[in-house]
A and B are shown apart, each in its own frame.
Chain A
Amino acid sequence: MKNDFRLQYPLWMMGFIVVLGLFAYGISSPVVEITGTELEQSVMVSVSGEKGFFTLGSIMLYLVMLLIFFLQLRKHNREKPGQKISPFSIRPPEYLEQDEGMTYITRKASQKVYTFITWGLPALAAFAMLFSISKLLIIWGILFIALGQYWIYYREIRKHFKEETE
Chain B
Amino acid sequence: MLRNRVKELRARYGFTQSDLGKRVNVTRQTIAFIEKGEFSPSITLALKLARALETSVDELFWLEGDGEDEK
Contact = CB atoms under 8 A, between A and B. Distances in A.
A157 to B, nearest CB: 10
Nearest to A163: B36
A104 B29 CA distance: 12
A99 B25 CA distance: 8
B54 to A, nearest CB: 21
A78 to B, nearest CB: 20
Interface in B1-53: 16-18, 25-34, 36, 38-39, 41-42, 45
Given A100-B26, A100-B42, A104-B39, A160 B33 contact: yes
A109 to B, nearest CB: 13
Contacts of A104: 33, 39
A101 interface: yes
Contacts of B17: 165-166
A98 interface: yes
Contacts of B42: 100
Contact of A101 (B16, B18, B30): B30
Nearest to B31: A101
Interface string A70-105: 000000000000000000000000000011111011
A114 interface: no
B41 to A, nearest CB: 7
A47 to B, nearest CB: 48
Contacts of B26: 98-101
21 contacts: A98-B26, A99-B26, A100-B26, A100-B30, A100-B39, A100-B41, A100-B42, A101-B30, A101-B31, A101-B34, A101-B39, A102-B29, A102-B30, A104-B39, A160-B29, A160-B38, A161-B29, A163-B36, A166-B16, A166-B18, A166-B28
* The 3 A-B residue pairs with the shortest CB-CB distance in the complex, in nearest-first order: A101-B30, A99-B26, A101-B33
